[in-house]
Each structure stands twice: as C-alpha cells, then as structure tokens.
Amino acid sequence: MALGKYSRVDGRKSSNYCSTVTIVVFVALCLVGVWMMTSSSVFPDQNPDVSSQGKKSDVSTQVTGSKESYSGGSESSNNAANESNPTDEKKSKQFEDTPGDLPEDATKEDALVSQEENHSNPQQTESTSEVKPEEKSTEQKVDAGDSKSETQSEKEADNSDDKKEDGQDKVDDKDSEAGEKDVKKSVGEEIEEGSGEKNSAENSSEPNDKKDQEVGQSSDEKADGEEKDQTSNEVFPSGTQSDLLNETTTQNGAFLTQASESKNEKEMQKSSGSDKESSYIWKLCNSTAGPDYIPCLDNLESIRKLRSTKHYEHRERHCPDNPPTCLVPLPEGYQHPVEWPMSREKIWYHNVPHTKLAEVKGHQNWVKVSGEYLTFPGGGTQFKHGALHYIDFIQQSFPDIDWGKRTRVILDVGCGVASFGGYLFEKDVLTMSFAPKDEHEAQVQFALERGIPAISAVMGTKRLPFPGRVFDVVHCARCRVPWHIEGGKLLLELNRVLRPGGLFVWSATPVYQKLPEDVGIWGAMQELTAAMCWELVSKTKDRVNGVGVAVYRKPTSNECYEQRSKDAPPLCQGSDDPNAAWNVPLQACMHKAPVATSERGSQWPEQWPARLLKSPYWLLSSQVGVYGKPAPEDFTADYEHWKHVVANSYLKGMGINWSTVRNVMDMRAIYGGFAAALRDLNVWVMNIVSVDAPDTLPIIYERGLFGIYHDWCESFSTYPRSYDLVHADHLFSKIKTKCGLPAIVAEVDRILRPEGKLIVRDKAETITELESMLKSMQYEVRMTYSKDKEGLLFYQKTMWRPKDVETLTYAIA
C-alpha cells in the first residue's frame, strides 16, 4: 500500500532518532520567519512526528509534483525514476497552484494530496517549494518541500518493496487519469481531484492511527480511522475532505458520472430556457404585399418564372423554399374588429384599407365606403337586392335543397365578399367560400374580416384541397370559371368533391340571357353535364333580381355511366383516389359512384343536426381509430373528451370573452370534436387535417362540419389577421423537427388577429419552448399549466410589432 509523505512508518526508526528530529523541527519552526526565505531545510520524509504535526496544522503549500501528475500524464510517469535537473525545476513553477482566496482547509487538502503523491514515488523529480510572506498569517506554515537529497533517497529505499510497488502503481494510475485532463483546470476541479486521491492515500494501518492520537489527532479523525479499520480497506475520509465529498455525494474524484453529466446538461438547458426569449430576434417582413402578405401566394420570384398563366398558375400556391420567420406588419390605424353579427354589415376601413372593390362593385351592393367603415349591403352580382332573398328564391325553385337540414355544408366558388355564405348562417348552413387573390382586391380578406369563412384559392391546374364526395351543394354565382372548356376539366373537379346526389347551383348569364356567347356556353354546358350524367332538376328566373338559376344533381349510381354511348368524359382509373387532393394535378375524368352499403357516399348523411353527433355509418368497428379504439368508439370518445374540456375549461375556467370570438381555427382537428363542442356558440371552426396525419377530414364533413388539408411547413391560404382564436392540440411537438418552431409560430402570428387567443395543448417541453417564443413576441400570458409532462398554454396576441426589418427578396415586385 502506498503511503503519503506524512504517513508514519512501521516503527523501525529509533526513539532517539525521533527525538532528534522533533528538536530539529521545533528549531526550524522558531526560525522560519527569520531565515526560511533564504534557505531550504531538508527533513526526513518518514518522520512520524513531522507527519503528525503536518496533519494538525493548516498547510498552505505549493507543490508542483502533483500538478505535473495531473497535467503531464505519462510524462510524469516516465520521469519518475530520473534525477531532478534545473530545467524540471523551472517547468514545475508553471503548474504551481496559487491558493488565492480559497479557504485554508481547501488549500490544505490540495497541498496534502500533492505531498502524498510525491512520496508515493521515492525517486520523483526534485523540486523546491517556497514559503511566501503572506503565508505567515496562518497559525503555522510548514515548508513541505519535495526536494530530496541522494541520502534521503537511499533512506526511502529502505522501505519495503511492497510499498514501492504500491506507490508506483498509484502514480501510474493517476498519470493515466491525468492524461485526459487539461493543464489549465479550474481550482474546483483540482480540489475535487485532491479529495478523491486523498481517500486512497489515507488508507493506512492501525498503528498509524495510534500514533496520530499521541501527537494530538482530533477525536473525529480518530473515530474515522477506527471505522476505516473495521471496514477493511474502505475509505471514510475525515474533516474537510468529508465536507467536499458530501458536495459530490460519491468518491468519483475529478470524473463526473454519466448521470450527473446528463443532469447538469439538462439543468443548464432549463436555466438557459428561461432566458431563451432574448435569443429570438423577430423582424418585420418587408414585401410588396405589405400587411396583406401571404407567403405562398405572394412569391413573386416564382411567379415570374412561370412558363404560362393560361390556367391561372399565377394564382396558385408557390411557397418559398424556406418559410419566413418574420412578422407581418399591421395596417396603419388597425383596431379591434367589429364583433359578429354587426361585422356582417360593416367593418373598420383601416383594418382592410382597400377601396377598389367598392369603386368597381359598389353599384352591385358588394361593398361601400361609409366614413370610417366599409359597409356591406348584402348584395352581389346576382343578388343586388340582398342575399337572403336570393337564398329563399333557390329554396323555392327546388324545395329538396332543404337549407339547414338536408343541405348543411356547401362550397361557394368565386365567392366575392362572401355575402351568400354570410347570410346562409341564418339557415344553419355552413359555407366554405373561396376566391383567388386577384384584381378583385381583398375580397376574401373582406369576408374574413366580416366573420365569414373563406380561403384564397383558385381552380387552376391542381385539385382543390378537399376530400372527394363531401359537399352537399356547390354554388357558383357569376364565378367567372369557364366550366365547359378543355373537356370540362374544372367542372369534373366539382364532380369529385360533390357528394353523390348533391347539387350544383349555377347562377350565370348563360342560364337566362340570349346573347350569342351566352347561348353558346349554355349549349356546351348542356352537352357536358349530360355526358357527366348530371340531371338538370330546376331552371328558373328571379323576377326581382332579373337573374336565372339552374340546379343540377349528381347521380347516386353508376347506371348512367355504363349506358353512355361515348366514354367522354372518361371514368377515372380504379387506382385513382378521389380523396387525394394535396398538390395533385387535375384530371379530366369521373370517379364511379360508391355502391357498397358500407362505402362512404353510398348513403346521404342524416339530417342536421343529428349528423353532428352520430358516428358515420361507414365507420366500422373492425377499423382502428386514431386513438387505438374501434373507430366508432374512438369517434364518440373524442367528442366526449372535447365536450368536457370546452364546458369545464374553455367556457368557464380560462376567462375567455366568447362574444369577441368568431373565426376559430383548429390546427389539428382529428374528428372535429373540438368544433362540435362549440356548436352552441356564435362561432365557426376551420378544421385542419395535416397532410401527414391520418385522413379524418371526410369524417368531419360527414358530421356537418368543414375543413381543409394543409401542410404546416407552409403558409396557410388566408390573409393576415384572419382568426380570433387558434387552437392546437399536440401539433407543435409532432412537426417541430420537420418544420422548425420559429417558422410555425410566425405563421400562427400571421393568421391570428391582434388581441386574438392562442390555446395550445402539448408536451410540457414543447410548451416551454413556445412560451419563450411568445414572450419574445410580447404576447400576454393568460394561463399556463403542466402536469405529468403535459401542458396547456393560453396566450393573447398584442399590437406589438418589431422595429427591425427583413426584406423578402422573393416577395418584392
């Protein structure tokens, strides 16, 4: 077993020898203040009295030998058997440990460890130690020099071979560990190393403990020594060393365990996470569209590269390669929107400061400027005298349409300012309105500001982002779509999304005017619809508005398709999925009608509102739902869950003033249970089903709700400031690695109105990330809650916008 420098030997020294050395030490201590600075004394390393005295006193010595063993690695091991030289002495001073402001007990341990290491190898490189003047202020300063004379080396050689071997093994072991350490390690690391090494050095025999007691070892140290003996070679350090080990809990020396390293890293990340908001530097988007910027519709760089715009390619989505992380500016003078239902009739001019449409369509009662408001008389190109009269006229023309019962969800193509859909709310009908972002300036933005559902889209070269066979009615009032050209490709797209037995309501000049162009279009439409097996069930003219309406019905069977004399338009291939709608090119073909009783579309849904809560007939118990239960049970459980959450939390416990909420988006809708739970409120919900999530959007339509497919790595096809409340259930944690949170959060900010609400339910770690970002955007905290690694976040957007600007070169004209 290796012995420290101040360890006692096995008693082979004579008592006379010990007395002599004690006298020498006493004299040396008395004269230390006078001549110690100019001379160095050599003491026998194995003197038991000196060793005891050294343990009793506060030692603050600087020794380079141990430092070299820490930092030199194998170098100190190679030099262990060599004699010292002046070069080594000079090098040693580079690694001296300056106690500085450390407490005395800390420096004492460091010195003791260093001395013990040097003694463990009797032929250690010679070096000298200094007693500095400032060290005289301590109780007792001992010159613990490591230099050894040739005679002393011979005396140390009298020790047993076992001690030499143990000492050498210890040095080799420490050298191999020290080789991984940087020379410039911190003082704290050195102390921790010292405590670990001292444990091994103090593992001595019982006579040594008795000798300690004779020279004044404390009772605590004695107890520690006795306990050490009783447990064989197990080390129980004493004094200050025990305190150090209490801090590290285990005797790992300078090496951390994997558990503690991981814990420290997580704590560092957590502590830095609280300040992470400062790391998010938001900028204001600079684009030609300004406050109306829609990233995927205003990518002017991509639009300029289009080979053709014949099929409205320039109105389709062209998303930038990297979604923007800047924030869209507010219009000057923006204020809290007019609340529903008043918003249907008027909105603040400064919120949507566009007057071109009022100039062009004012005579048709689309929109008018009235002081600080834009007003909407409820008219349109085909219903100058109001949408309500027009809606009632359609019902009278074809009573089977049965607004609000048989007909619940409709698609309005080329909606204008969406007055048709806005007034259908009174009939309990939900309308998905869409129009392109074109020269009819901000028509969809007007609709959304009024509190009416709408998206920016165009019938161009790709399928609409809806499943097949979901709309009860498709409506077109002077929608400016050339249905009859190119084999009826665009009308065939309506056929795809229209439910079997569903209606196409067409109100346009070819229906009732006799101009040559109109007559020609009507003839072409008659030929096309007949080939598609659509039945013209009604054609009437409204005397008040002076317009006519034609109503067509889609077949519910394949009988007509099979009896056609010509296969034009052709039937789609059996492999063509009518539900595939995300970036799928249009095809001039028709899908067969479903005939199996268990197939979706073979039956008309139940009347509203019964269809809202009843599981669709085509959801089978043999199918596994999203949550792992049989599909019908999954459907019911989802609704019960959201009914409970909405009733007990969202309506009561979160302080939301629902009279200020009209436009709602569910970013991850699943079965539409959240929207169904809000049915008694004056809100509508845009249900989003991600393109990489289970395709449950047909279920949402089947129950009388609506929604759209979307990829949240891209911008949504809506104007900025469209929604009063955005809801996201476990969405961000699923897509943050794919898309990156800053881009998604910037898109949510674009969609959400100032003073709008954001409710997120997600994993606690994701909630923490979102909190940091939202705080950096000056959102107001309304509620945060976490339990069992799950969290809830409720924030409200403010009017804050950053001052720095980021120019989006691809969005500059």
What angle in degrees, to the nearest 10, is found between the helix axes of 764-776 and 741-751?
Answer: 60
What is the model's pLDDT at position 119?
Answer: 42
Judged against a pLDDT cut of 80, whether residue 736 lies above it is answered with: yes
Burial class (CB in 10 A: 0-12, 13-18, 19+), 22: middle
C-beta separation of 551 from 472 below 8 A? no
C-beta separation of 553 from 537 below 8 A? yes
C-beta separation of 7 from 51 below 8 A? yes
Query: Alpha carbon 427 to chain centroid distance?
Result: 41
pLDDT average, residue stretch 25-36: 65
C-beta separation of 419 from 400 below 8 A? no
Q: Position 501: which residue type? A: G
Indicate the range of 358-362, 381-385, 606-610 predicted with least confidence: 358-362
Indicate the range of 238-252, 587-601, 639-653 predicted with least confidence: 238-252
Q: What share of the chain has pLDDT > 90, as a percent? A: 60
What is the model's pLDDT at position 226?
Answer: 45
Name, in order, each residue with C-beta under 8 angstroms of 224's C-beta and a sequence gap of 6 or more.
236, 237, 238, 242
C-beta separation of 441 from 330 below 8 A? no
The alpha-helical segments, DSSP class H, found in 406-515 are: 419-424, 443-450, 489-497, 509-512
Name, in order, each residue with C-beta under 8 angstroms of 610's C-beta and a sequence gap of 6 or more.
none
Token pair of 389 as six digits = 């009269």
Query: Nearest 5°: phi and psi at 767?
Result: -60, -40
210: confidence class by pLDDT, cuts 50, 70, 90: very low
Burial class (CB in 10 A: 0-12, 13-18, 19+), 118: buried
In this structure, how many other beta carbons lie within 10 angstroms of the beta carbon of residue 654?
A: 13
747: confidence class by pLDDT, cuts 50, 70, 90: very high
pLDDT in tens, 590-646: 999 999 999 999 999 999 999 999 999 999 999 999 999 999 999 999 999 999 999
Indicate the range of 217-231, 426-440, 602-616 predicted with least confidence: 217-231
Q: What share of the chain has pLDDT > 70, as a percent? A: 66
Choose between 266 and 560: higher pLDDT.
Answer: 560
C-beta separation of 688 from 707 below 8 A? yes
Token pair of 735 as six digits = 């897509």
Q: Distance between CA atoms of 625 and 637, rounded to whole angstroms? A: 10
Which residues share a beta bridge with 473? 410, 503
Q: Distance between CA atoms of 61 and 127, rounded to whole angstroms? A: 13
Q: How many CA atoms lie within 13 A of 497 on its CB side?
A: 28
Q: How many CA atoms lie within 13 A of 432 on its CB side?
A: 25
Judged against a pLDDT cut of 60, whether residue 283 lies above it is answered with: yes
Query: Token match 């001039």: residue?
Result: 588
C-beta separation of 374 from 368 below 8 A? yes
Q: Distance between CA atoms of 283 and 135, rounded to whole angstroms? A: 58
The span from the first CA to the last CA of the chain, in angstroms, equals 83
Phi-psi region of 778 (alpha: psi -120 to 50; beta: other; left: phi over 0): left
Judged against a pLDDT cut of 80, whether residue 458 lies above it is answered with: yes
What is the model's pLDDT at position 54?
Answer: 41
29: confidence class by pLDDT, cuts 50, 70, 90: confident
Q: What is the 3-state secondary structure (H, E, C) of 252-287?
A: CCCCCCHHHHHHHHHHHHHHHHHCHHHHCCCCEEEC
279: confidence class by pLDDT, cuts 50, 70, 90: confident
pLDDT average, residue stretch 52-60: 39
Token pair of 479 as six digits = 């929608």
Q: Distance between CA atoms of 470 and 486, rounded to whole angstroms? A: 25
Judged against a pLDDT cut of 70, whether residue 653 lies above it is answered with: yes
Q: Distance between CA atoms of 421 and 383, rounded to whole angstroms? A: 13
Token pair of 457 as six digits = 């889209």
The angle formed by the CA atoms of residues 415, 418 and 422, to the nearest 5 degrees, is 145
- Coil, strand or helix: which one is 685? strand
What is the model's pLDDT at position 23?
Answer: 76
365: confidence class by pLDDT, cuts 50, 70, 90: confident
> At 209, which helix (H) or strand (E)?
helix 206-214
- Coil, strand or helix: which one is 244? helix
Q: Distance between CA atoms of 174 and 183, rounded to whole angstroms? A: 14
Q: Distance between CA atoms of 506 and 74, rounded to whole angstroms? A: 90
What is the model's pLDDT at position 87?
Answer: 42
Which residues share a beta bridge with 498? 471
Among residues 709, 611, 672, the alpha carbon closest in space to that of 408 is found at 611
Name, in order, each residue with C-beta under 8 angstroms of 725's C-beta and a sequence gap of 6 or more.
656, 661, 663, 664, 665, 683, 756, 757, 758, 759
What is the model's pLDDT at position 245?
Answer: 27
Radius of gyration of the chain (CA): 43
240: confidence class by pLDDT, cuts 50, 70, 90: very low
Judged against a pLDDT cut of 60, whether residue 16 lies above it is answered with: no
pLDDT average, residue stretch 52-69: 39
What is the model's pLDDT at position 366?
Answer: 81
Judged against a pLDDT cut of 80, whether residue 201 lies above it is answered with: no
pLDDT average, residue stretch 194-222: 40
Which residues share a beta bridge with 585? 462
Burial class (CB in 10 A: 0-12, 13-18, 19+), 699: buried
Token pair of 792 as six digits = 């809830």
Judged against a pLDDT cut of 60, whether residue 560 lies above it is answered with: yes
Token pair of 304 as six digits = 């300029």
Choose between 63 and 658: higher pLDDT.
Answer: 658
Indicate the range of 147-161, 378-392, 442-456 predicted with least confidence: 147-161
Query: Alpha carbon 535 to chain centroid distance?
Result: 51
DSSP state of 314: G
DSSP state of 148: -
32: confidence class by pLDDT, cuts 50, 70, 90: low
Name, in order, each residue with C-beta under 8 angstroms of 526's C-beta and a sequence gap of 6 or more.
536
pLDDT in tens, 462-507: 999 999 999 999 999 988 899 999 999 999 999 999 999 999 999 9
What is the model's pLDDT at position 269?
Answer: 55
pLDDT average, residue stretch 104-117: 40
pLDDT in tens, 693-720: 999 999 999 999 999 999 999 999 999 9
DSSP state of 179: T
C-beta separation of 314 from 460 below 8 A? no
Judged against a pLDDT cut of 80, whether residue 82 lies above it is answered with: no
Q: How confident is the prediction for the chain on average, in pLDDT?
A: 77
Question: How do 373-375 and 346-348 pair as beta strands?
Answer: antiparallel
Q: Distance between CA atoms of 701 and 676, rounded to whole angstroms? A: 11
Indicate the range of 211-215, 379-383, 709-713 predicted with least confidence: 211-215
CA–CA distances in Å: residue 795 to residues 260, 457, 519, 652 = 35, 30, 57, 16
Q: Distance between CA atoms of 528 and 511, rounded to whole angstroms? A: 15
Q: Distance between CA atoms of 327 and 743, rounded to whole angstroms? A: 10
